[in-house]
Amino acid sequence: MKPGLFRHLTIAAAAITMAVGVSNSDAKAADPIKIGSFLAVTGGASFLGDPEKKTLEMYVNKINADGGVIGRKLELILYDDQGNPANTVPFVKRLINDDKVDILLAGSTTGSTMAAIPFVEKAGIPFISFGGAGVITSPVKKWVFKTPHTDTLAVQKIFTDMKARGISKVGLLSGSGGFDKSCRKQVQTLAPGSGMTVVADETHGKGDTDMTPQITKIKGTAGVQAFMYCGFGAATSIVAKNYKQLGASMPHYQTHGSASKSFIKNAEGGAEGVRLPAAALVVVDALPASHPQKKVAGAYKAMYESKTGDSISSFGGHAYDGLMIAVEAIKRAGSTDKAKVLAEIEKTSNFIGADGIYNLSASDHLGLDEASFVMVEVRNGDWKMLK
């Protein structure tokens, strides 16, 4: 295995430096800080794992080039679990028992994160996950954190916007993917408390190419004031196109699952007027200079896009925030002592990341609130920030 070979090389390198006598007297201090990771680099969830891997590699190299953390280099040990929880378990065991990592920054999907948690909790290693669902940190697990916003926050943000506009009756359409279903559940759970009524609740299948029957039905539902879509990928654009085709005129909301430029481009005008909550990173160009995240998110975007040639996605941002929170905590702890690092991660406050502003504590292992989303509307084919 490559990581193993790499480990031997670093040990050899450390031995040589020691023999030459360049390094400081404390051999321990020259050991790299081991960051363990398992991501869905390939497979169906690779759209998550691929930017996460690139981000981790890019910034680990950058940090090492700048002299490392507390005088030690970072070493990334990364396995591809293809987003499949069955693959995750052996990798987690290997990272914990053989690689003896200091911290885990891993888990592209909720499934693989949940599969890893029992082992991580038992071994007592700080673990920052990039998985989406709220279940990862709610209820709080001692060693487990996560950086991505949850769909709960997104739905709350949408409901806040609707309420401000006097909308209380929503027609919901959702897809059949994990993201879509979880979002639909949040809408159903949060609606009563927010004074919202879901008057229509339609779904469509994976890979469907035409949603006009569902939208026609929602349009014809008595009392409906706004249309909301929970979904991801190509379906977001298809829904927007169908919506325009049917000449529907009520307000159209989608979620952060649609917050990508390809949503606007491929909807061919259908996205005009669609409102959605987005991570600051995705809409960084539309943010005013005064926005607290403008600088951090802008710098990450510039670096990612120039190094990889890919356009930015919020997923890489999850990895960026996870890595930076970990690095800051290790700096403050002054060591990689796991309990100390854990305590310092929990002390993270007002940390400005690409995804939002984190305020972690022993009782909140996500640290983001509704304010981490920016409500935007599509105007003239671009994002326009709403007040």
208 lies in the site for other proteins, by CB under 8 A: yes
By the 8 A CB rule, do 196 and 168 touch? yes
The reply on whether position 209 binds other proteins by CB under 8 A is yes
In whole angstroms, the minimum distance from the beta carbon of 343 to other proteins comes to 39
Q: Using CB under 8 A, which of the segments 10-18, 242-250, 271-279, 359-367 binds other proteins?
A: 242-250
207 part of the interface to other proteins, by CB under 8 A: yes
Alpha carbon distance 57, 79 (integer Å): 13
Which residues, 21 to 40, sit near other proteins by CB under 8 A?
A: none
**Closer by beta carbon to other proteins, 181 or else 340:** 181
Least separation in angstroms between residue 220's CB and other proteins is: 6
Phi-psi region of 371 (alpha: psi -120 to 50; beta: other; left: phi over 0): alpha
Compare residues 315 and 320 and give the one whose CB is closer to other proteins: 315
CB nearer to other proteins: pick between 211 and 296: 211
> Is residue 237 at the binding interface for other proteins, with CB under 8 A as the rule?
yes
List the interface residues with other proteins, window 278-337 (CB under 8 A): 310
Are the C-beta atoms of 82 and 43 separated by less than 8 Å? yes
State which residue, 3 or 233, has the beta carbon closest to other proteins: 233
- Stretch of 54-62, 88-96, 236-244, 315-323 contacting other proteins, by CB under 8 A: 236-244
Tokens standing for 346? 């929990």
Cα 133 to Cα 135: distance, rounded to the nearest angstrom: 5
**Token digits for 147?**
């950086």
Which CB sits closer to other proteins, 24 or 245? 245
**What token pair was written down for 264?**
């606007």
> What Cα–Cα distance (Å) separates residue 120 from each residue in 124, 263, 365?
6, 37, 15
Question: Contacting other proteins (CB under 8 A), which of 10, 160, 194, 262?
Answer: 262
Q: Which H/E stretch holds residue 121?
A: helix 110-123
Segment interacting with other proteins, rule: CB under 8 A, options 117-125, 127-135, 260-268, 356-364 = 260-268
Q: Which residue, 209 or 349, is less far from other proteins as judged by CB?
A: 209
85 token code pair:
């929880």
225 binds other proteins (CB under 8 A): no
The reply to whether 46 sits near other proteins by the rule CB under 8 A is yes
Q: Which is nearer to other proteins, 147 or 214 (CB)?
A: 214
**Residue 227 DSSP SS3:** strand
Least Å distance, CB 267 to other proteins, is 8
| DSSP secondary structure letter of residue 335 | S
DSSP per-residue codes, 285-328? GGS-TTSTTHHHHHHHHHHHHHHH-SPP-HHHHHHHHHHHHHHH
Which among 76, 2, 79 has a CA at the least distance from the CA of 38?
A: 79
What letter does residue 194 receive in the DSSP assignment?
G
Q: What residues between 119 and 178 interact with other proteins by CB under 8 A?
A: 176
Contact, 274 vs 253, CB < 8 A?
Answer: yes
Q: Which is nearer to other proteins, 50 or 321 (CB)?
A: 50
Could you list the residues that contact other proteins (CB under 8 A)? 44, 46-47, 50, 176, 202-210, 212-214, 216-217, 220, 233-234, 237-238, 241, 245-247, 262, 265-266, 268-269, 310
